[in-house]
Amino acid sequence: MSSPTTTRPASDAARVAQAAREVVEAHDPLSVPREELFGALYDAGLAWVHHPEGLGGLGLSRGLQPVVDQIVTDAGGERMFAVNPIGYGMGAPTVVEYGPDRDQVGAWLRPMATGEEIWCQLFSEPGAGSDVAGLATSAVRDGDEWVVNGQKVWTTLAHVARWGMLVARTDPEQPKHRGLTYFVIDMTQPGVDVRPLRQMTGQAEFNEVHLHDARVLDAHRLGEVGAGWKVAITTLMNERTAIGGVTGRRGSGVIGEALGLWRAHPDRHTPVLRDRLAALWTRAETHRLTLARARRTASAGQPGPEGSVSKLVGAELNQDVYEFCMDLLGPDALLYDDWTMDRGRVHTDPNSTVQQRFLRSRANTIEGGTSEVMRNILGERVLGLPGEPRSDSDRPWKEVPRG
């Protein structure tokens, strides 16, 4: 039997680490602007190491990206993902796989990597949440352009976005999955109206986007006309990976907040709360290790079911941890009156309160696919269980009941 500590020859990991250290030394994260550091990482193929060379990558395993992230954050830099999460995590894989041509894709990717051009995702609608393919926003061809009308909702970062990933209905006569087309739309044009959407925390982290005769170039279409659902799947699978796929250090993140709160309030310790926290810590740690295992065993390239597993587990764990935190605070949790509407803050803001985070966590099991839909995906796509009987698959979209 081979030993688990066998030394490997100089690996891709070592090569990536070396390249990342060189970039960080030449562009000190603590003294140069973020755009310069991230631009240098892009040019060195370290923005997405699994991308082709020349498109921010080195053609290596996706599993090596954390090597770069670790070196950058250890040197005091931000994670590229955190600066432009929708673009970095979901836009990039989609445009690389379905982008119109290499020049256009490169022109999108570099400012996406540097954070100079923020991206948002125009999928959800008031009438189409988990059932994304039921969406109604229309795109009608007009020469080299398409004319877009409709309303999107829950659009993170739309108020600062330069580009939006838009799925629109181009043929209402087709069954719902077949009448969709995928575009990249300019968010700064007339006819794109972004309005804050206030949530139960009091903040407006999301937006509604009203599209009124907005225009999108046919040259900015991803994939074939009518094949938008296939393209959207790439985005959605990566959404789950991006939402659930961040592995912190032991005791960091949400469970770290709970530990900090526990240590700050020794007067509130009870055996029952201690048992709950020990159980939560164990779940958090097992979840963290499972992500690490999945990363080790995943073959390079397309995200697998680990994304769906991790999204489901992470969402429910977050809620349970914040429920614990509120219980630990006891009656003091009631003392909160800052319901200021604020578009700038997000729930990861270090200044946000336990109460805000607790409320925000209610969204975790809804956003990016509800936990119910996630369980269907695991049951059907991973375990191979039969699908639900459905009435919308073969009917023209315009005949399917909606609401």
**Judged by CB under 8 A, does residue 401 bind another protein?**
no
Residue 376 in contact with another protein, rule: CB under 8 A: yes
Give the three-class secondary structure for 99. Answer: coil
One residue of 154, 281, 322, 397 binding another protein per CB under 8 A = 281
Total of residues contacting another protein (CB under 8 A): 54
Among 30, 272, 335, 383, binds another protein (CB under 8 A): 383
Indicate whether 282 belongs to the interface with another protein (CB under 8 A).
Answer: yes
374 contacts another protein (rule: CB under 8 A): yes
3 contacts another protein (rule: CB under 8 A): yes
Which amino acid is located at 298 in the chain? A
299 touches another protein by CB under 8 A: no
User: CA-CA distance, 74 to 401, in Å (whole number)?
Assistant: 53
Range list of H helices, 219-305? 228-244, 253-264, 271-297
Identity of the residue, 118 or 277, whose beta carbon is nearer to another protein in the bound complex: 277
Choose between 144 and 390: whose C-beta lies nearer to another protein: 390
Q: Does 250 bind another protein (CB under 8 A)?
A: yes
Judge whether 325 and 353 are in contact, CB under 8 Å.
no
Question: Is 391 among the residues that bind another protein (CB under 8 A)?
Answer: no
Both tokens assigned to 333: 């949790």
Element (H, E) at 132: none
Least Å distance, CB 330 to another protein, is: 18
Q: What count of other Cβ atoms lies within 10 Å of the Cβ of residue 133? A: 20
For another protein, the closer CB: 84 or 319: 319
Measured between alpha carbons, how far is residue 345 from residues 73, 205, 350, 351, 368 in Å?
21, 7, 10, 9, 20
Q: Apex CA 120: angle with CA 186 and CA 28, to 5°?
A: 105
Q: Which of 286, 300, 332, 339 binds another protein (CB under 8 A)?
A: 286
Closest distance between another protein and the C-beta of residue 130, in Å?
Answer: 13
Task: Count the residues in the chain.
Answer: 403
Q: How far is the CB of 252 from another protein (least distance, A)?
A: 9
Closest separation between CB of residue 1 and another protein, Å?
A: 4
**Nearer to another protein by C-beta: 200 or 264?**
264
Cα distances (angstroms) measured from residue 196 to each of 80, 151, 344: 25, 13, 11
Exactly one of 219, 264, 292, 341 binds another protein (CB under 8 A); which one?
A: 292
Contact flag: residue 387 with another protein (CB under 8 A) = yes
| Residue type for position 320 | D
- Which residue of the set 78, 239, 367, 380 is catalytic? 239
CB 62 within 8 A of CB 296: no
User: For 236-264, b where at least 16 C-beta lie within 10 A, e where not — what string?
Assistant: bbbbbbbbbbbbeeeeebbbbbbbebbee
- List the x/- string, 61-100, binding to another protein by CB under 8 A: -----x---x------------------------------
How many Cα atoms occupy the beta-carbon half-sphere of 238 within 13 Å? Answer: 23
Q: Give least dist CB 380 to another protein, A.
A: 7
Distances (CA, A) of 100 to 12, 42, 51, 140, 202: 30, 20, 16, 19, 40
239 is catalytic: yes
Q: Which stretch binds another protein (CB under 8 A): 87-95, 120-128, 291-299, 359-367?
A: 291-299
Distance CA 110, CA 119 (A): 12
Out of 30, 103, 143, 263, name the contact with another protein by CB under 8 A: 263
Q: Which stretch binds another protein (CB under 8 A): 4-12, 87-95, 157-165, 328-336?
A: 4-12
Q: What are the residues binding another protein (CB under 8 A)?
A: 1-8, 66, 70, 247, 249-251, 259, 262-263, 274-275, 277-279, 281-283, 285-290, 292-293, 295-297, 309, 312-313, 372, 374-376, 378-380, 382-389
Give the residue numbers annotated as catalytic, written as ranges.
239
